[in-house]
């Protein structure tokens, strides 16, 4: 079993699917593909000359969010491993599986279609990370689960005690960050962009319809045109690490 590629899927409610998709296509320098799926609910954001690693899913109920897809060369083996480690099955489709982590994060196992070339940095930023927000009582279990499932990825503490980083092998496009929440609330997930200049990226995103929420030392919280949160982080868009660290 091997993880050959990863996707961040941005799940957006139907009324805001189009503006959210247009926004994310603009900030990632991509174009939205033709829809796929039984209800034409899926689309990928395709860069020119490289492979997509971001998608948009139109959801018909709930507030949406973000989830990870893992492209694997042995979907049955990957799914079995996830279940042994504590995941729960959610749905089985022809060719792909939906699972739920012990804390409740939904993720998918999908076939690998030969993706291998990471999208480039665009306007000084790159969507390169999905942050999984985890309640404190399930945080340690969740860190252990993802560390076991993503065997072969580097698992290390983040820049603050409440963070844990799973850094993929060279060539894969997305890191996974686990964040221990300060309070007990449902799990959530959001995309993070590595930015050479957070202020410049923020200005460009606001011009495209994003809204500023809050600023911290190493990151700025934003909302896209659908109202969904994401973060601009002060990390090297090429390496993914902070300026004074390698992670």
Q: Each residue of 156-168: pLDDT tens digit?
A: 999 899 999 999 9
Interatomic CA distance for residues 222 and 82, integer angstroms: 32
What is the predicted pLDDT for the residue at 243? 64
Burial of 240 from C-beta contacts in 10 A (0-12 / 13-18 / 19+): buried
Q: Look at residue 25 in the predicted model and tell me its pLDDT.
A: 98
pLDDT tens for 48-90 read 999 999 999 999 877 889 999 999 999 999 999 999 999 999 9
Q: In what order do the strands lie in the sheet with 175-180?
A: 154-157, 163-167, 175-180, 125-134, 188-195, 229-233, 219-223, 211-215
pLDDT for 22 equals: 97
pLDDT at 244 (0 to 100) = 56
pLDDT at residue 247 is higher than 80:
no
pLDDT value at residue 59: 92
Q: Mean pLDDT, to the nearest integer, of 84-97? A: 95
164-176 average pLDDT score: 97
Instruction: Quote the tokens at residue 71.
Output: 């492209």
Alpha helical stretches, state H, 93-172: 139-149
Does 245 have pLDDT greater than 70? no
Q: What is the pLDDT averaged over residues 202-208?
A: 98
Average pLDDT, the chain: 95
How would you classify residue 161: left for phi > 0, otherwise alpha for psi between -120 and 50, otherwise beta?
alpha
Weakest-pLDDT range from 1-10, 99-108, 123-132 = 1-10
Confidence of residue 246 (pLDDT cuts 50, 70, 90): very low
Closest among 193, 165, 162 to 54, alpha carbons compared: 193
pLDDT at residue number 231: 98
Tell me what pLDDT residue 1 has: 60
Mean pLDDT of the 170-199 span: 97
Arithmetic mean of pLDDT, 180-186? 94
> Residue 197: is it exposed, middle or buried by C-beta count within 10 angstroms (0-12/13-18/19+)?
middle
State the average pLDDT over residues 108-125: 97
Closest CA to 156 of 231, 78, 236, 242: 242
Largest CA distance in the chain: 46
């Amino acid at each position: 079993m091997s993880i050959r590629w990863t996707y961040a899927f941005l799940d957006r409610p139907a009324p805001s699917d189009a503006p959210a998709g247009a926004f994310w296509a603009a900030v990632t320098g991509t174009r939205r593909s033709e829809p796929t799926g039984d209800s034409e609910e899926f689309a990928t954001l395709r860069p020119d000359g490289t492979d997509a690693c971001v998608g948009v899913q139109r959801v018909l109920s709930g507030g949406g969010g973000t989830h990870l897809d893992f492209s694997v060369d042995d979907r049955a083996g990957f799914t079995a491993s996830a279940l042994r480690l504590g995941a729960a099955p959610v749905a089985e489709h022809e060719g792909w599986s939906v699972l739920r982590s012990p804390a409740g994060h939904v993720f998918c196992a999908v076939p690998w279609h030969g993706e291998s070339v990471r999208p480039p940095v665009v306007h000084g930023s790159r969507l390169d990370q999905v942050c999984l927000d985890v309640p404190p009582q399930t945080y340690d279990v969740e860190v252990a689960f993802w560390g076991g499932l993503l065997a072969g990825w580097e698992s290390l503490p983040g820049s603050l005690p409440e963070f844990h980083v799973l850094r993929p092998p060279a060539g894969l496009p997305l890191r996974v960050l686990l964040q221990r929440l300060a309070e007990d609330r449902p799990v959530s997930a959001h995309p993070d962009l590595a930015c050479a200049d957070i202020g410049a990226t923020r200005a460009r995103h606001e011009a495209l319809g994003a809204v500023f929420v809050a600023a911290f030392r190493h990151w700025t919280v934003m909302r896209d045109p659908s109202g969904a949160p994401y973060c601009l982080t002060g990390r090297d868009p090429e390496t993914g690490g902070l300026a004074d660290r390698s992670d």
